[in-house]
Structure 1
Amino acid sequence: MESPNALSFILKLMLVFYLLNIAANNVNYGSAANTKPKINLISAICPKTSNPKKCLFLLNVNSSTRGAPTLRDLGVVTLGISINKANTSIRSINNSLRFVDKPPTKQIYEACIDKFKSSIDMLSEAKQMVTANNFAPARKVLEQVVHVPSTCQKELAKAGPPTVVRLANAISDWFFDIAFVIVKELEAGKN
């Protein structure tokens, strides 16, 4: 078995790689990445989110979101990123679960994994709806999943999750919230 220092080092190393992945994440999630930046579009959305500063940073650092020509495109891209980040949360929780030996704690971790898995299905459904300009049904779907990361964060806090799990859930939470705000704006016809 690894020493606590080795485990701590491994978790810190995972956190560093995760942060580097966020900063360098220029994957195209469904929008034209080479279009002109739409800073005004991002600036109009982010103040309506629960964490405007994080929203501005996250949407401006990614070329797919930064280059989204319309609010609808930004919504599709952000939903794609939300799906990706939910998968990252699942991987982080799964990796940490290997080091958990108490059954009640394992149940908390497994429940969060299940919640994220179902949220991925619903986010995919919402993404298809936004692509088809069906904004009201997409908003209703997102209302059901927008709080999954924060709910898991609260439940996992009882188990004392490693930093990498808390960070993965926080990033999922920010993107779920951003996607929800964008879809509400689309539904209101402010595109």
Structure 2
Amino acid sequence: MLPNITENKKITEMTVDEIMAERALYEDVIRNCTYKEPQEIADLFEAYTMLIWKHKQVGRVYDFYFDGLKEERDGGANLEGSDHVVWDTLRSLAQFPDLNVEFVDIHCVRDGDNYRFGQVVYNTGCGKGGVGPHGAGKDLSFEPYEDLEMCECWIQFIDGKWRVGKEASIRSNDAYRRLLE
């Protein structure tokens, strides 16, 4: 996993210098990825995940997700296409404005000419200040490891670019409901 230079601080707890240093680390990983080794892909996806979720750079979904992506989710709330991934990400960030992702593990292996990786993360955050399907969020926070998420992605060379072509994910939906309902 990548160095944790801000000790899992939420973006709202970081100084401008810390934010810029962390972003620079992630942007260097993305810029220097050669797509030749599985560890590079694991680092790349960790960097993208942190920029999208922690640094709220949701538009980066379009940099790495295939427009025809199919994401299979637990409970049948499947997504199709990068636009739906962006919409779902924005919805989650609206519900939990201070959402912070913390990596437990990430690994990657070759899959023929492509790659497959898996990751386990958990989120910290509070519903206060957020807006969900039932109105304003509660002043409640996730318990440690309560909002655990696992996903597996297939990275494929599509239309001349490496992209996430398929994703399967599972999360602790009860944790979301507890804070939002």
Tell me which of the two structures has the higher relative contact order, counting C-alpha pairs closer than 8 angstroms and 6 or more residues apart: 1
Which one has a larger percent strand, Structure 1 or Structure 2? 2
Which one has a larger percent helix, Structure 1 or Structure 2? 1
